[in-house]
Amino acid sequence: MVPLSRDPNTYNGQPLACIFVASQRDQAVTKTEYGSESFSRPVCSEDSRRVPHQSQRKDLHRPPQISEGGTLQMPRTPEEGRALFDRWARTYDLDLAGQDGPKAGPLVGYAETLRIAAEQVPVAPGMSVLDVGIGTGAFAARFRGRGVRVSGVDPSPAMLDACRGKHPGFTLRVGDFNAIPFDSGEFDMVISSFAFHEVPPGGRLAACRELARVLKPGGALCLVDILFASPAALAAAREAIGERWDDEEDYPLVGDLDQLLHEAGIGGSRWRQTAPCHWMVLARKPA
């Protein structure tokens, strides 16, 4: 085990920003304004163009990984993920309340990321908001006082039960990114936090198309997740986090997800890094 620093802003004495932020050689960005905050749009550099887009890679279903302890690790299947979150539902909020400390791993900065993202979501009273992968409702709860109607889907019935107990006013249904049980064009806003990476790589384009389907023309998307600007940034994070890294996860790259959203018909994406391993995107379906 690699010991983690007691300072949540460092790992082993090194600033997190220095460990995880990709160099300009790996990923360049252009700055633009989205609301009052400065966001970035990924632009491929010469080196990053050599990394094939997700749809062209042959490792879409990642082979088994060998952990440092010699254990065979397989990417988690959707069924295994559903069972995991069913078991976790009872203590999920309590467990994540401590995810800004030395044991956080890639979730370090969780609460701050949700705060930043919620502040940037362009909602207004009367709007309909769908949270995909709502879990216990931690992200959606930040919109309760803003006069919006919140719906949510999650593949875990136990997580939905926990959410229903905390937020009885939410409309909740069992579903996932590839099967959202709502009508086409039903929502002004779709949000999601720390859930998209659970979609197997081969299903991510279809998932983005499903997000586009339920958005109204001109509707907006805010997606927050554990993402990385480049393969180098992902590798650096994995090395720094050590055994706190979950080899059953397959975290997307910002550039890959940006292109998938574009292919799905969701454009104008603006990206912001909110924590060492977290990025958010604001994008919109054409009117």
pLDDT tens column, 247-256: 888 999 999 9
The pLDDT value recorded for residue 98 is 58
d(CA 244, CA 12): 13
The pTM of this model reads 0.74
What is the residue-averaged pLDDT of the chain? 76
Out of 3.40.50.300, 1.10.3660.10, 3.40.50.150, 3.40.50.360, which CATH number does the structure's domain 10-58+67-284 have? 3.40.50.150
Mean pLDDT, to the nearest integer, of 70-87?
A: 60
208-234 tens-digit pLDDT: 999 999 999 999 999 999 999 999 999
Bridge partners of 152? 131, 172
DSSP 208-253: HHHHHHHEEEEEEEEEEEE-BSSHHHHHHHHHHHGGGS-TT--PPB
Rounded distance between C-alpha atoms, residue 260 and residue 266, angstroms = 9
Residue 105 binned pLDDT confidence (cut-offs 50, 70, 90): confident
**Burial status of residue 195 (CB atoms within 10 A of its CB: 0-12, 13-18, 19 or more):** buried
- Report which of 212, 214, 189 is spatially closest to residue 127, judged by C-alpha positions: 189
Higher pLDDT, 9 or 192: 192
Position 24 pLDDT exceeds 50: no
DSSP 153-177: EES-HHHHHHHHHH-TTSEEEE-BT
Residue 16: what pLDDT? Answer: 44
Query: Distance (Å, rounded) from C-alpha 267 to C-alpha 89?
Result: 34
Q: What is the mean pLDDT of residues 151-163?
A: 93
Parse the chain into domains and list their residue ranges: 10-58+67-284
> What pLDDT sits at residue 46?
31
Question: How many residues are given for the chain?
Answer: 287
Whether residue 254 contacts residue 196, with contact meaning beta carbons closer than 8 Å, is answered with no
- Over 70: is that where the pLDDT of 92 sits? no
> Is pLDDT of 115 > 90?
yes
